[in-house]
Amino acid sequence: MRIAFLILTLAFSLEPSAFSQSLLWDFALKAADRVASAPPAPGSYPTYVQSNGKDSASGTTHTITLPTVTAASCLVLGFRVVAVTVSSVTDSSGNTWLDCGQGQVIDDAGNRASIWVAKNASAAASTVTVTVTVSGATTFRGAIAEFSHCSTSAPVDQFGGGELNTQTTATSAITTTTANEALVVFCESDGERTWTAGAGFTELQVVPAAPNTKGYLEYRNVFSTGAYVGNASFDLASCASAAVIVSLK
């Protein structure tokens, strides 16, 4: 930032031509913008650690695992079920799971997308098994991710969801309230598709593998407050789909 101000000082103290003064002004603004938008120091914002996916046959209980979990991390579970409600989400470490969206986002074909979060997770040196219990028999496409350096008391900032019948699925816009957050998005489709991450997002899990994917997890870090949308696309012009997003602080 000091460099930008020094350039501005030179631009006006040396009294160059209007054209060169304009160029210096533009350069200074761009330099200031680069400084302002630079990521903060590692360890000071929610950071992706690991993830896993699970595609399971029809049943009323479904499990998904992580090999280990670091103390005080935040666990995020996104999943797709069909025409059932979620009775509970528990895990083998005794963490408390909360439906951060307070419900499911339902696409035009009746498939349901949800995101659940466990804050301030207990440390686990061996496999952590998460169990999802639902109200009736259904297939399950799920993905779980671990993030470090989140708030241990209230990591969820915003939540949104949306359903479309186009080639791109997208959530409603959310407006973050803190500068440094992680946006985690789970998408689902009625048909088996090949998915592509939305602009700025990184693909984490495809469940099952392409071209038969029906569950898709992606994330991105953002370093300024603002309105954001979670989105991804697939290889068909029209398909019932839904997406849910949660921002972690």
Average pLDDT score over residue span 89-103: 92
- Distance in angstroms (rounded) separating the CA atoms of residues 122 and 146: 12
What rounded mean pLDDT belongs to the chain?
88
Contact 184, 115 (CB under 8 A): yes
Hey, which residues does 17 pair with through a beta bridge? none
The Cα–Cα gap between 12 and 232 comes to 47
**Nearest residue to 184 via CA among 197, 167, 166, 193:** 197
pLDDT of residue 17: 53
Distance (Å, whole) CA 96 – CA 70: 15
Q: What is the pLDDT of residues 167-208, one digit of tens each?
A: 888 999 999 999 999 999 999 999 999 999 999 999 999 999
Residues 6+ apart with CB under 8 A from 115: 76, 77, 78, 99, 100, 101, 159, 184, 186, 244, 245, 246
Q: Is the pLDDT of residue 133 over 90?
A: yes
Residues 6+ apart with CB under 8 A from 62: 54, 56, 79, 131, 132, 134, 140, 142
Q: Which residues contact 45 (CB under 8 A, 6 or more apart)?
A: 39, 149, 180, 181, 182, 221, 223
At residue 205, φ and ψ (nearest 5 deg) are -145, 140
pLDDT in tens, 3-31: 444 443 444 454 545 444 444 434 433 44
* 159: confidence class by pLDDT, cuts 50, 70, 90: very high
The DSSP 8-state label assigned to residue 94 in this structure reads -
CB 246 within 8 A of CB 159: yes
Nearest to 157 by CA among 117, 207, 120: 117
3-class state of residue 222 by DSSP: strand
What's the average model confidence in pLDDT over 152-177? 93
